[in-house]
Amino acid sequence: ATGPRGVRKGKGPRVSEPTSATLLERIRDVNDEDAWSRFVAFYQPMVHRYARRQGCSEAMAWDVVQETLVDLMSIMPRFEYRPGAGNFRAFLRRVVWHRVSCAFRRERRYVPLDGESAPETATAGAEDDGRRPDRAWEQEWQEQLLQTALRRLREQVEERTFAAFHAYAIAGRDPEHVCAELGMTPNALYQIRHRLMTQLRRTVEWLEGELDHDGP
């Protein structure tokens, strides 16, 4: 997916929230339904897409999602914030990779009746302990951050303003065409881009703090 340039590089105050505890701290309480709902809304589609990219079928990918969440509900009550111990998304990737490997091991236990072989796409599971850098996982993380930040931004501004920003700054459409389509001046479009890009950067920074501080 196309993304705006420089979103990760911006600086500025973080978007404030009504609670001082981050989402990762709150989900240590498995009974905090609001926190878990927000956590699942962010990470579930990311884990599902990653599992599919590793070669999982649709059913296998959903098994990976559900088993990962069950693992986390057991792990998170013992979660401790330890600066310097690594970020949460790297830890989560190891949990997910383990579940992807388990899903393929289960598949290989069964021989389909039609004689076809079981999937072999994720045979690297035996060679990968989930700790090496993974470009696919990082790409899914960046995409999920951007899409979540864009949804939040869309809820905070007028529809026409967001349409202009998305067309010009995100989709990369020609500014003249955007102005003609939405009936605005180039100066107005450039101001919208500057203002909303700043807001988007701040939202991305806040999401990172909520969803990926140092952890296990």
Please tell me the distance from the alpha carbon of residue 37 to that of residue 162, in angstroms, as a whole number: 26
Q: Cα(75)–Cα(71) distance, rounded to whole angstroms?
A: 6
In one-letter notation, the amino acid at residue 18 is P
Predicted pLDDT at 11: 36
Poorest-confidence range of 57-61, 143-147, 206-210?
Answer: 206-210
Q: C-alpha 208: how far from its chain's center?
A: 10
> What per-residue confidence (pLDDT) applies to 106?
87
Q: 71 with 78: CB under 8 angstroms?
A: no
Write down the pLDDT at residue 12. Answer: 36
pLDDT exceeds 70 at position 82: no
Which tens digit of pLDDT belongs to each residue from 28-59?
898 999 999 999 999 999 999 999 999 999 99
pLDDT reported for residue 128: 54
pLDDT band at 121 (very low <50, low <70, confident <90, very high): very low
pLDDT in tens, 155-179: 999 999 999 999 999 999 999 999 9
Q: Quick one: which of 118, 106, 149, 126 has its CA closest to 7? A: 149
pLDDT at site 116: 45
Whole-prediction pTM: 0.75
